[in-house]
Structure 1
Amino acid sequence: MQGHALRCSGYFAGAMAMHTIVIADEQPLLRAAVQALLDAQGHLVVAALDNGAEALQQALALEPELLILDLALPRLGGLEVIRRLHQRQSPTRTLVLTAQSTEHIAGLCLQAGASGFVSKLEAVEELGDAVRTLLRGRAWFPVRSLGSVAAPQGLQAEDEQLRNLSPRERTVLQYLVNGRSNKDIADELSLSDRTVSTYKARLLQKLNAGSLAELLEIAWRGGLLERLPATAGALPDESRDQYFHALFEAMPMPVCLRDAEGYLLTCNRRFLEVLDTTLEQAVGKRVIDSERVPPQEALQFHQQYLQAAAAQQPYSLELVLHDRGRKIALHHWGAPYRDAQGVLVGMLCSFVDMTEHEQALISLTHANEQNLAVRRARLMFLHRVGEEFRHMLEMIASRLHEVAATFEDSAALQQARQDTRQILDRIGVLLDLADLESGTLLLRPWATDLVRLTRDALQAVTADGVLSAEWQAPQAPSPAWVDRERYQQIVGLLLRHCGQWVAAPLQVTASSALLGHAEMLWELRIGPQPPDAPLNAPSDSLEPALVLCERLAQLMGGQLRWHWPPQGGNLLTLRLRLPQATS
């Protein structure tokens, strides 16, 4: 076996620091599920909160590396939390985890300053990938969530998106957001209903909106709604209400008009239906006067509304109503509504009920937790049985060792000892797989020279003379953060299995490359020496040890590739993407 002498100036002492993360979500089951995932990845959750106000406070006080938050948070909406952290130049990166997964919402998160966006409807693996990516200093906005927003020209501001509409698209948009039906628009513009539907679909795509309600929100901010007559502010209430209803009664979403102090002036029929109230009961009331909204959250909403009205700027936030013991999650927004002279008449407001999405998510989370509980119970049982078998076999191995000392020439005893050791090794692999499945197997990275660590692993495997291997490695040290014990376990298992297929010595070749962002790629290739040596075809059965190697490689941010028949003289390639360490 050939090796290279290595001289290292010393290692950075101590283990890698854990990443600090804060979770903010109103649902306790979801908070627990996310925390379990982060714990399994070796991160430290320093706070798990159920409202936006505390999330903002803790993010500013603790300065965690990452804040994972929902948008529908009580007391202070998720978007507002992101904006305020961004305004205060907080070093904390923000990952939005929400059921509101339209392109429009993803675009708003990106504009507010979020570092990443993940839908709650995606597989849990995507959340893990997003967390790892953000902690490496990169953004996570999958193309499917941003859609056309992720095009090469980058994210455009809403006013620029509106300016890029064709004259006909802009005209159709103005008709749509002012309550005109497809048939009315078709008659007005001498188009077919199908052509109007095509324009509508194109507008939803270009403006990254998921519904007509979101188109309305964008149009409010862009000033595309019809203005009230110059005298609208002075019109009698009855005339003003008639004009409002002429514009918004046909709208499929709830719409209301509030004055600068938050008092409701008028609303359409859909608003009354959704809130199960009458016009007489609704007019003259503010959100802060409602018994359905918790006092602290109502005060927070009222303050933000007054600020937006005073600045004559649009706003959006999440609001939770309590109705007959049931929580209703609303995505609420508003925009200034002016007369033809530009005088503020009030704030035009609307909302979308997100409760069904949240309840569906809670049901899925609950079912998932039940399945996980059953799975954990089975794994614990298998783990306990495995430990008992291992203990019994260790006792047998100890007695065989005592007997073998008396009968040194007994080949049967030596074979029994070898068989017992192999069974113990296989049980150890199965127990490790059970720990991986239950999430209790955690990596403990240390700053390590991979060249030296790999050489030590080769020496340990070939020490008994059963297996031989030739070793080629980089001349310079390759320091990285890696779990030493688990890395050596992978190398040992792979060499033993390759040794079953190759009668000749094995050739082990290592290489390293810098990737940027303080990461390195470590590649290990194993094949026969010489490359054309005869091989025994591997068994078609699934070997637990190989499954364990593949899972451990994935846990280390890498992959394991098998080549049968061999490619380039290699049976397998192990690639690990690891954080660099100080030499």
Structure 2
Amino acid sequence: MSRVMIVEPLPLLRLAIGQVVERLGHQVVAQVDNGQDALLHARSDSPQLVVLELAIAGLGGLDLIRRLKLRDPALQLLVYTGQSSSHFARLCMQAGADGFVSKQDEPVELERALNAVAHGRRYFPREPGNVQVAMGGNELDALSARELTVLGLIGEGRSNQAIAEQLSISYKTVSTYKTRLQEKLQVDSRLGLADIAHRNGIGLSAVSTQVEPAQLAQTKPDPAQQALLRALLDSSPNPMYVRDRQGRLLLCNQPFLTLHHTSQERVLGERVEDMFWFSAEQGRNFQARYEAMVEKGQAYSSQGSVDFLGELHYLQHWSEPWRDANGTVQGMVGSFEDLTDRHILLGQLRDAHEHAQARYREATHFARVLHADLDEPLQRLKAGLDFARLTMPGQVALQRLSQRMAQLERLVNLSLQRPPLVPVQLNIVEWIRARLDAFNAQLSKGAAVPTLALEGVSAKQLWIDAERLGALFDSLLQRLSEEASQAPLRISLATRMQLSGVVTFNLAITLCQPLAHHQGIALQFCRRLAQSMEGSFRDVHENGETAFLIELECPAALPG
């Protein structure tokens, strides 16, 4: 006699399986309907044999098999499932199951399997490795166990959120599995995946069998297919519909009704051209387009503006054919995504961008005119003055003015001409030290000498535009030295190699006192230089200090 745990989501089936187990002389010690509870009861009730369905909540059945076997290799596992044996029997064997019985088999198969597994034998009615793939050919052979589980849940009409909750994974992970399934199975929609699952008998055990009244239309899917379509519609957050070959509306979901401000009673059975929200001309055009799609039997997608009862909506629309068991096109399944708010927002962003660009051009033009107006008088002033006879403050002021004019000219040229980057290979540590030594040599007597700290330099050899970086470095040091020649300057350099081969370059220059003026041509010139190298330049003020942070991304270079 074995201690048995039953893992089955349907209460009636749990009861029936329990009666079979007890009739064979075994003891039922636990009955659960999800994977998480199964793990808990496996610890607390110590079953010797587990009968489980693959389509359970909390964990996928295949994951549950692996976890149970990992915890107790001696535990006997018998899979009793409505999933396709042609695909899942082999996977269950690989996961560690001791037996596999399909719910489509005769009831006596369950008894035979229980007897075999309880006595330490494996029970697979047909060798899983030799099972022929049903209807879909070998299209599912390349799928992993988790991918098959996700495909089955999609086939049941579950939403991404519902799948995430059932398998205890994130919504984003489900989206990744869905994308991977579409690539492997070469379909471009959720409906295509559901159709493949349907053809291969995967995931149909949990689909509702609710059907619509017969009077909705003359052409109807068969009950199983209709249940699949109904589940798909109900799980979609977007407006979705099913029409027959003539364009009559067979099924729709609540978002569809909400979008069109209507009810099922008013629209079910109506053709495309009879929909009250279209004008007569619109109705004829959309009806003709629909009939052409049905005739071609191909998927269709479009994007554009549609007027619904005086409300202009910008919609993304897709549709694709649904077929009967013989492959004959019976109609189209379609969906809308209302992009109206996004379309309006994008228009506003485009307008704002164009306005900002116009203002930027005006500001650049003004800076160019200002430079042209001031540069000529400055040059005449310098030519007319005896520089040697100026006082020291006068010489310094004239030098700074000349530097500002040169920076303004380069700033305007950067904005208007946008010269391309000219990267060269260099050792960034040696380059920074040499640049700093050159700057220190020009300092006046008594001025504070900047210090350099290397903080996590993992890559030294870089490809970088040395001319622009040099102009940025020199201009910033000169500006801060002018502001407070006696205040210490701390310079720290850090680099980090990324897996892609790109190096993140971080340079921080800190003035050990607050900076009185945070604007000006020099700082704007530094900011624009960093931006022209596709980097960032920002200032941080805290603890009585002002730090300027420069971050760039540069290709790594081989040591030379």
Q: Calculate the TM-score normalised by the size of structure 1.
A: 0.45
**Greater relative contact order structure (CA < 8 Å, 6+ sep):** 1
Flag the structure with larger Rg.
2
